[in-house]
Amino acid sequence: APAAPSNFLRHVIETDLEQGTYDSRRWGGGPGDGPFHQAGMPDPAKIRTRFPPEPNGYLHIGHAKSIWLNFELAREYGGVCHLRFDDTNPEKEEQEYVDSIREAIRWMGYSTALADVPTQPGAAQDHIYYASNYFDFMYRAAEHLVTAGHAYVDEQTPEQMRANRGDFGTPGTDSPFRSRTPEENLVRLRQMKNGELPDGAAVLRAKIDMASPNINLRDPTLYRIRRATHHNTGDQWCIYPMYTFAHPIEDALEQITHSICTLEFEDQRPFYDWLMARLIEGGLLTAPPPRQYEFARLNVTHVITSKRKLRQLVEEGHVDGWDDPRMPTLAGLRRRGYTPEALKLFCERSGTTKSGGAWTEYAALEAALRDALDPVAPRAMAVLDPLALEITNWDATLGAGHLEPCHAPVNPHDESAGQRHFTFGKRLWIEREDFQAVPEKGYRRLYPPHTNASKQAIDGNKVRLKYGYVVQCTGFEQDADGKVTKVLAEVLPDTKSGTPGADSVKVKGVIGWVGAHDAVPAEIRLYERLFKTEQPGSADTIADELNDASLSTVQGYVEAGLAGSAAETNYQFERLGYFVVDAKGSAVGRLVFNRTSGLKDSWGK
Ligand code: ATP
Ligand code: MG
Ligand code: MG
C-alpha cells in the first residue's frame, strides 16, 4: 500500500471525524449550489482538501510535498482533494503552466476526477476548479461586508496606507475614510466595480482593528482596481480580489474541510476565521466553515524552491528549459529519472511538522530514489568511458567467431523478473579506469605483466568479467601520445560464471563489460548538482552560485538488450548508478540516458 502521511494533520482529521464536525454539511441550500457545484459530486460531509497552485510557473519539489500531503490525506480518510487553479490575478493566460501542472499531478498518480461520477466513455473525468469562477460570489460577499459595516472604501494613497498601517509594536492610525457610512461605501464600491475610478485610486478594506498586534488584521485590503484582461473572465472585471480575501471563500464554496498551507500563512489565519464568521453571520455561507492548518515548508539543500527564481534560470538560459534534468521542477525531476514512488517516499520521510523551516539534505532525495528503484529497476551493464579489450587466445580456445551466451538476473531482489541474456566474444568494451598500465598500490583490476619498483617480475592480473570469464592481462597498445588504445588478455577457458569450474581460479577484481559485437552505443548525460552553494538563491546574481560542471556528456555503450528501450525506463547500470532513458533526446536508433544518481551518497565527499 502507498505510504500514508503520519503527522499532526492526521490527528486533527481523526478528531474531526470522531466528533462529526462536518457531518451536517450538505449540497443544496448553501453555497454548494454556487457556481461550481455539479450533480454527482462526492458527499460534502467527507474530508475535503485542496491543492491550489497559481498557474504562473512549473511545480517544484516543494509543491510535490503539498500535493502528496493533500491527496494522501484525502485518500486515507475516504475524502477527495481538489485541484484548484488560484487564478485571481488577472495575468495573461498561461496555458503552458496549467497543462504542466495537470500533467505533474497525473504523473504523481493522483486523480482529480469527481469520485462519484460514473466512468463513461469520453466523459471528462478530470475535474478542475478555478478560483476565477467565484468572482461573482466574491463580489456579493464584498457588498455584504460593506452593508454590514465590516468593510470600507479607502482612498488614501498607497504611501499613506503604508505609513498608517504602523509597524510591529506600533499601532496603526485610522484612515480618514474609515468612518464612512455603509451607504457611502456601497456607492463607492459600485463605482470601483463599474470602472468609474482609475486604477489604484481606491481599495476596499476590511474594517477590523488598526491597533491589532497582528498586522494582518489592520484592515487588510480585499479588492483593488486593476484594468487587465483575465484569461477566464476577460474584461468583465476591473476590480480583483486579494488572495487573503479570495482564498477562504474559494475553500468555503468548495466545501473544503481542511485547508492546508505553509507556515508563512499562519498570521493570516485570524483573518481567514474572521471572514468566515462574517459571511456565515450574513447567511452567505453555512457553518461549519473550513479551517486553515499550517505546516513547515519543504526546503532542500542545493535546491531552489521559488517559482520566480526558477523562471529566472530558464529565462537567463542557465538551464535548458523548465524540464531540464537539473531543475527541481517535477518535470525536471521526472526527466532526471525520479519516479512518483521515489518522491512520495521522500515526502513521507521529510516529515510534516507544525514548526520548522529546517532544510532537508539533498542526499535524502537521492536516498529515497535509490530505495524506491533498487527493488524494481532492471539491471544492465554499461561502459561510460570505453576502452577496447581483445581476447588474444579466443579463436584458438573457443573457436573463431564464437559468441558465448551469458545471463544475469534482471533484478537480484526479484526472481520473477527473470534473466537477461547477452554474449561474450573476442572483443569487448571495458571502463578505461578498469585498466592501469602501471598499477598504483593496491590496484586489483587489469594491469599487464611488468617489473615493479623492487625489480620483481609481476604477472599480468586476472579479473572476472562479471557473468563471463576470468581473463588475464597480457599487454596493451597505445598511440603516439601514450594513450592506451587497447588492452590484450587471455581467457581462462573453464572459468565461466555459473559453471562447475568457475571458482577454480581466485581473482581479486570483478569488472563490467559489454560485447563490442552487440553493445548499443548511447549518449549518456552525467548530471551533477546545479548549485555549488548549500542554500542557493540568496546571492545577488544566481549565476554566481551555479556549478559550472553540472553537466558532462559521454558516448558510451550499453548492454545489447537495451536497444529500443522505452522513454523513461529506469535502469540500474551495475556499479555505476541509476540511469533513465531520456524522454526528449532518445529516438529510434538513438539512445540517450540521463544519470539520475550514483549508487552511493556522493554528496558528503
Ligand atoms: P513559489 O513561492 O514557488 O511561487 P507558491 O507557494 O507561491 O510557491 P503556489 O502555486 O501558490 O506557489 O503553491 C501551491 C501550493 O503549494 C500552496 O498551497 C503552497 O503552500 C504549496 N507549496 C509551495 N511551496 C512549497 C514548499 N516548499 N513546501 C511545501 N509546500 C509548498
Ligand atoms: Mg502562492
Ligand atoms: Mg510564492
Longest alpha-carbon distance in the chain: 106
**Domain finish residue from 241, 260, 292:** 241
**CA-nearest residue, atom 12 of ligand 1:** 53
**Which ligand 1 atom sits closest to the C-alpha of 310?**
3
Residue with cell 484569461: 231
Number of neighbours of residue 466 by Cβ within 10 angstroms: 15
User: In the chain, count of helices (H) and strands (E)?
Assistant: 13, 29
* Beta-bridge partners for 370: none
CA distance 471 to 232: 70
439 in a structural domain: yes
Task: Tell me the ligand closest to 330's alpha carbon.
Answer: 1
From 190, 297, 349, 486, the catalytic residue: 297
- CA 98, CA 112: separation in Å to the nearest integer? 14
- Provide the whole-model pTM: 0.92
Question: Residue 306 CA: which ligand is closest?
Answer: 1
Cα–Cα distance between 309 and 297 in angstroms, integer? 17
Q: How far apart are CA 295 and CA 356, in angstroms?
A: 8
Among 154, 140, 227, residue whose Cα is nearest residue 184: 154
CATH of the domain at 180: 3.90.800.10
Q: Which of 75, 307, 370, 464 is catalytic?
A: 307
3-state secondary structure of 580: strand
* Cell 560542471 sits on residue: 549
pLDDT in tens, 14-70: 999 999 999 888 765 444 444 455 666 666 678 999 999 999 999 999 999 999 999
Distance 515 CA to ligand 3 centre (A): 52
Q: Is 423 part of a structural domain of the chain?
A: yes
In a domain, residue 473? The reply is yes
Reply yes or no: is the peptide bond before residue 270 cis, omega within 30 of 0: no
Cβ contact 70:260 at 8 Å: yes
CA 295 to ligand 3 centroid distance, Å? 16
| Atom number in ligand 1 closest to CA 260 | 18
> Last residue of a domain, which of 206, 241, 276?
241
- Please tell me the distance from the alpha carbon of residue 65 to that of residue 295, in angstroms, as a whole number: 11
Q: What strands, in cross-sheet order, belong to the sheet with 48-51? A: 48-51, 80-85, 128-130
Enclosing domain of residue 186 = 135-241
Which residues in the chain show pLDDT less than 70?
1-6, 27-44, 92-93, 114-125, 601-605
307 has catalytic annotation? yes
Q: Give the per-residue pLDDT at 38.
A: 60
Pocket test residue of 69, 84, 262 for ligand 1, highest count of atoms within 8 A of CB: 262
pLDDT, tens only, 354-400: 887 778 999 999 999 999 999 999 999 999 999 999 999 999 999 99
Per-residue b or e along 6-40, where b marks 16 or more CB atoms closer than 10 Å to that residue's CB: ebebbebbeebbeeebbeebebeebbbebebbeee
* Residue 13: its H or E element: helix 8-19
Q: Is residue 427 part of a domain?
A: yes
Query: Which pLDDT does position 194 carry in this prediction?
Result: 98
Q: Specify the residue for cell string 559521454.
A: 554
C-alpha cell at 587: 529516438
DSSP 3-state of 135: helix
Residues near ligand 1 (Cβ within 6 A): 52-54, 62-63, 65-66, 261-262, 297-298, 305-307
Q: What is the CA radius of gyration of the chain?
A: 32
Catalytic residue, chosen from 10, 46, 54, 106, is: 54
Cα(412) to centroid of ligand 3, in Å?
44
Q: How many domains does the chain have?
A: 2
Task: For a ligand 1 pocket test, name from 7, 58, 65, 66 the mutation site with the most ligand atoms within 8 angstroms of its C-beta.
Answer: 66
Q: Tell me the three cell numbers of residue 208.
A: 477590523
Q: Does residue 323 sit within a domain?
A: no
ipTM score assigned to the predicted complex: 0.96
User: What is the C-alpha separation between 352 and 347, in angstroms, rounded?
Assistant: 8
Ligand approaching nearest to the C-alpha of 55:
1
- Span from the CA of 53 to the centroid of ligand 2 (angstroms): 7
Q: Coil, strand, or helix at residue 595? A: strand
**Residues written for the chain:** 605
Q: Cβ contacts of residue 323 below 8 Å, gap of 6+?
A: 58, 329, 331, 332, 334, 335, 584
In Å, what is the CA distance from 206 to each residue of 59, 142, 185, 288? 32, 9, 12, 22
Considering every ligand atom, which ligand is closest to the CA of 537?
1
Separation of 307 CA from ligand 3 center, angstroms? 7
Report the CATH number at residue 487.
Answer: 2.40.240.10
- Among 241, 258, 280, where does a domain finish? 241
Ligand 1 centre distance from Cα of residue 67 (Å): 10
158 domain-assigned: yes
Beta-strand pair 462-465/128-130 = unpaired
Q: Whose CA is nearest to atom 18 of ligand 1?
A: 261
Assess if residue 446 is contained within a domain.
Answer: yes
Report the atom number in ligand 1 closest to the C-alpha of 55. Answer: 10
- What would the grid cell of residue 558 be? 550499453
**What is the spatial distance between Cα 546 and Cα 531, in angstroms, rounded to a whole number?**
4
Residues 432, 387 contacting (CB under 8 angstroms): yes
- To the nearest whole percent, how much of the chain has pLDDT over 90? 79
**Backbone dihedral angles phi then psi of residue 291, each to the nearest 5 degrees:** -125, 145
Q: Which residues contact 47 (CB under 8 A, 6 or more apart)?
A: 13, 16, 17, 22, 73, 74, 77, 78, 79, 80, 257, 258
Q: Whose CA is nearest to atom 27 of ligand 1?
A: 62
Cα-to-centroid distance, 69 and ligand 1 (Å): 13
The answer as to whether 581 is a domain residue is no
